[in-house]
C-alpha cells in the first residue's frame, strides 16, 4: 500500500512516519509539506537517516488522491476542513488526525475551534475512529476522524460505565494532564521551556475544544446529553496523558464488580489493558506505544468511582491510533505494524 502524510514535519507526522516506515503492508511513503517542499526529510531530521530518502512534496490534492491508497492529515486545525473536500472521490482513504472532522455539528466546531467548519457533506462522510468502540463502521469507512488525545484517554475510561448507564449524568468530572508535545512543535508561551519546566498549570478552563467531542460520544453511548467538567493541565514532561475521571454511581458497586465490567468490554481489545483492582497505571507504562492502560476503583464512603486512564498523546492519542484505524480500513489485523511494548524508562 502507498501512504502519504500531510504535516510530516510536525510531531504527529513524525510519529506516523516512524510507524509506517516499518509497517509490513506499506510499500511507499510520500511526505507533503506546505513550507519545505523540495527538501530531503532525512537531511532535515537525521534521526530518520539510514534508509530510503524522502523528498518533501508540494500539496497537490488531485495527484495525492489518485496516487496514494491512504492519506494521513496531521496539520493544524483548519487545514483539513478545506483540504478533505478536495481529496474526496479519488482512490485514497483519508485519516484526519486534527479536530476538523470529529464534531457532527458544524456550529459546535465554529464555537469551540473558532474557525470555519468543514462542509456538512464532508463531516457526514467521516467516521469517528475510536477503534475499541467503533470498529465495524471504521472498516466500512472512506474518511476517518481520528479522536483527539484527551478524548481518547477520557472516552476509553468512561465507555463501560456510561454504556451501562451506571453514572449519575451530572457527576462526570475529568481531570486531565498532558505532556508538552500535545501542543505541537511550535513554541508558545505556555510550552516554552523556561515557563513549563518545574511548573504545573491548568489551561483552557471550561473552554477546551475537546469538551464537545467527549460529550458527543457520551451521548452516542447514553442516548442523552451528558455535560462534563473537563480540566486540562500541562505537566513538564515530553509525552503522556493521564485522565483521572470521577463519576458518582446511581447504585452501589464494588471495585471487583467494576473491574469485571471493564474486563467485559476490553478483554478482547488488544490495546486496552485493565489493571487488577487496586492497581493504577502511570504514563511511562504506555510511553511510545499504542496502549491505553486503565485502573478503576470505587470509594464506598462516597459511592464515587475513580478511573485512571493513560496514553501516549502522540501514539494512541494520534499517530498509532491512526495506523490502527488504517489497519481496520484495509481489513488488516488491527495490531499490524504496531510494536507491542512501550519504551522504558
Ligand atoms: N501533538 C499531539 O499530541 C496531538 C496532535 N493532534 C492534532 O494533530 C495535528 C498535528 O499536530 P502536531 O503534529 O502536534 O502539530 P505540529 O505543529 O507539530 O505540526 C503540524 C504540521 O502541519 C504542517 N502544516 C502547517 N500548516 C499547514 C498547512 N496550511 N497545510 C498543510 N500542512 C500544514 C506543518 O508542516 P509543513 O510546514 O511542513 O507543512 C507542521 O509541521 C493537529 O491538528 C493537532 O491538533 C491530535 C492528537 C494529539
Ligand atoms: C498540551 C496541549 O496543549 N495539548 C493540546 C492538544 C490539542 C490537540 O490535539 O488538538 P485537536 O485534537 O483539537 O486537534 C490542547 O490542549 O489544545
By residue count, the chain amounts to 345
Strand partners, 201: 234
What confidence score (pLDDT) does residue 340 get?
81
Looking at the domain assignment, is residue 176 inside a domain?
yes
| Residue pointed to by grid coordinates 451506571 | 166
Give 188 Cα–ligand 2 centroid separation in angstroms. 13
- Does 39 lie in the same domain as 166? no
- Does 200 lie in the same domain as 137? no
Please state the domain count of the chain. 2
> Which domain range does residue 231 map to?
150-311
Q: What is the ipTM of this complex?
A: 0.98
238: Cβ below 6 Å to ligand 1?
no
Q: Which residues are catalytic?
A: 149
- Does 121 lie in the same domain as 98? yes
- Contacts of 114 by beta carbon, 8 Å cutoff, 6+ apart: none
Q: What ligand 1 atom has the least distance to the C-alpha of 313? A: 3
Looking at the domain assignment, is residue 343 inside a domain?
no
- Does 132 lie in the same domain as 9? yes
- What CATH number is associated with residue 62? 3.40.50.720
- Does 231 lie in the same domain as 88? no
281: Cβ below 6 Å to ligand 1?
no
Helix (H, G, I), strand (E, B) or coil at 241: strand
Give 7 Cα–ligand 1 centroid separation in angstroms. 5
Write a three-state SS string for 30-88: EEECCCCCCCEHHHHCHHHCCCCCCECECCCHHHHHHHCCEEEECCCCCHHHHHHHHHC
Q: What is the residue with the minimal CA distance to atom 3 of ligand 2? A: 183
* Residue of 103, 148, 201 to mutate, ligand 2, most atoms within 8 A of C-beta: 148
Q: What ligand 1 atom has the least distance to the C-alpha of 13? A: 13
Looking at the domain assignment, is residue 96 inside a domain?
yes
Q: What ligand 2 atom has the least distance to the C-alpha of 113? A: 13
Looking at the domain assignment, is residue 335 inside a domain?
no
Q: ∠ at Cα 187 (183, 188), nearest 5°? A: 75
- Does 80 lie in the same domain as 66? yes
What sign results for the dihedral spanned by CA atoms 149, 151, 155, 158? positive
38: Cβ below 6 Å to ligand 1?
no
- Does 163 lie in the same domain as 101? no
Closest CA to 96 of 38, 16, 37, 9: 16
Give 182 Cα–ligand 2 centroid separation in angstroms. 6
Looking at the domain assignment, is residue 342 inside a domain?
no
Whether the CB-CB separation of 134 and 118 falls below 8 Å is answered with: no
Looking at the domain assignment, is residue 239 inside a domain?
yes
CA atoms within 13 A on the CB side of 73: 30
151: Cβ below 6 Å to ligand 2?
no
Helix (H, G, I), strand (E, B) or coil at 17: helix
pLDDT in tens, the chain (345 residues): 999 999 999 999 999 999 999 999 999 999 999 999 999 999 999 999 999 999 999 999 999 999 999 999 999 999 999 999 999 999 999 999 999 999 999 999 999 999 999 999 999 999 999 999 999 999 999 999 999 999 999 999 999 999 999 999 899 999 999 999 999 999 899 999 999 999 999 999 999 999 999 999 999 999 998 899 999 999 999 999 999 999 999 999 999 999 999 999 999 999 999 999 989 999 999 999 999 999 999 999 999 999 999 999 999 999 999 999 999 999 999 999 998 899 999
- Does 277 lie in the same domain as 171? yes
* Residue of 178, 202, 312 to mutate, ligand 2, most atoms within 8 A of C-beta: 178
| Residue pointed to by grid coordinates 487488577 | 276
What confidence score (pLDDT) does residue 182 get?
98
Helix (H, G, I), strand (E, B) or coil at 234: strand
Rounded Cα gap, residues 4 and 28, in angstroms? 8
Rounded Cα gap, residues 210 and 214, in angstroms? 6
CA atoms within 13 A on the CB side of 176: 37
CA atoms within 13 A on the CB side of 213: 28
Give 281 Cα–ligand 1 centroid separation in angstroms. 29
183: Cβ below 6 Å to ligand 2?
yes
- Contacts of 153 by beta carbon, 8 Å cutoff, 6+ apart: 176, 241, 242, 243, 292, 309, 310, 311, 316, 317
- Does 42 lie in the same domain as 138? yes
Looking at the domain assignment, is residue 337 inside a domain?
no
- Does 245 lie in the same domain as 177? yes
232: Cβ below 6 Å to ligand 2?
yes
Cβ atoms within 10 Å of 291's Cβ, excluding its own = 24
Looking at the domain assignment, is residue 295 inside a domain?
yes
- Does 249 lie in the same domain as 292? yes
Single pTM value for the model: 0.98
- Does 302 lie in the same domain as 162? yes
Beta strands in 162-303 (DSSP E): 173-178, 201-203, 229-234, 241-248, 272-274, 292-299
* Residue of 184, 191, 205 to mutate, ligand 2, most atoms within 8 A of C-beta: 184
Q: What is the residue with the minimal CA distance to atom 7 of ligand 1? A: 98
Closest CA to 174 of 127, 217, 110, 224: 217
- Contacts of 209 by beta carbon, 8 Å cutoff, 6+ apart: 77, 99, 112, 113, 148
Give 136 Cα–ligand 1 centroid separation in angstroms. 28
- What CATH number is associated with residue 245? 3.30.360.10
Amino acid at each position: 500500500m502507498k501512504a502519504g502524510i500531510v504535516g510530516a514535519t510536525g510531531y504527529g507526522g513524525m510519529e506516523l512516519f516512524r510507524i509506517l516506515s516499518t509497517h509490513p503492508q506499506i510499500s511507499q511513503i510520500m511526505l507533503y509539506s506546505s513550507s519545505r517542499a523540495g527538501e530531503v526529510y532525512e537531511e532535515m531530521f537525521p534521526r530518520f537517516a539510514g534508509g530510503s530518502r524522502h523528498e518533501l512534496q508540494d500539496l497537490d490534492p488531485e495527484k495525492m488522491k489518485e496516487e496514494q491508497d491512504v492519506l494521513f492529515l496531521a496539520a493544524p486545525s483548519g487545514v483539513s476542513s478545506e483540504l478533505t473536500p478536495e481529496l474526496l472521490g479519488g482512490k485514497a482513504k483519508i485519516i484526519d488526525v486534527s479536530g476538523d472532522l470529529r464534531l457532527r455539528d458544524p456550529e459546535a466546531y465554529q464555537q469551540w475551534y473558532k474557525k470555519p467548519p468543514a462542509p456538512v457533506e464532508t463531516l457526514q462522510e467521516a467516521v469517528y475512529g475510536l477503534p475499541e468502540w467503533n470498529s465495524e463502521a471504521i472498516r466500512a469507512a472512506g474518511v476517518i476522524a481520528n479522536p483527539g488525545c484527551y478524548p481518547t484517554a477520557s472516552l476509553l475510561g468512561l465507555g463501560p460505565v456510561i454504556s451501562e448507564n451506571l453514572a449519575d449524568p451530572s457527576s462526570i468530572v475529568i481531570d486531565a494532564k498532558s505532556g508538552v508535545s500535545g501542543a505541537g512543535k511550535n513554541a508558545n508561551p505556555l510550552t516554552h521551556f523556561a515557563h513549563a519546566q518545574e511548573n504545573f498549570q491548568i489551561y483552557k478552563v471550561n473552554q477546551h475544544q475537546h469538551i464537545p467531542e467527549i460529550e458527543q460520544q457520551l451521548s452516542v453511548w447514553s442516548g442523552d446529553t451528558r455535560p462534563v467538567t473537563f480540566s486540562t493541565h500541562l505537566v513538564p514532561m515530553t509525552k503522556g496523558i493521564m485522565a483521572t475521571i470521577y463519576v458518582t454511581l446511581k447504585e452501589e458497586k464494588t471495585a471487583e464488580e467494576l473491574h469485571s465490567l471493564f474486563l467485559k468490554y476490553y478483554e478482547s481489545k488488544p490495546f486496552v489493558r485493565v489493571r487488577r483492582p487496586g492497581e493504577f497505571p502511570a504514563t511511562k507504562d504506555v510511553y511510545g506505544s499504542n496502549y491505553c492502560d486503565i485502573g478503576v476503583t470505587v470509594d464506598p464512603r462516597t459511592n464515587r468511582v475513580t478511573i485512571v486512564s493513560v496514553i501516549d498523546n502522540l501514539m494512541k492519542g494520534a499517530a498509532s491510533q491512526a495506523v490502527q484505524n488504517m489497519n481496520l480500513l484495509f481489513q488488516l489485523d488491527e495490531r499490524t505494524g504496531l510494536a507491542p511494548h512501550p519504551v522504558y524508562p
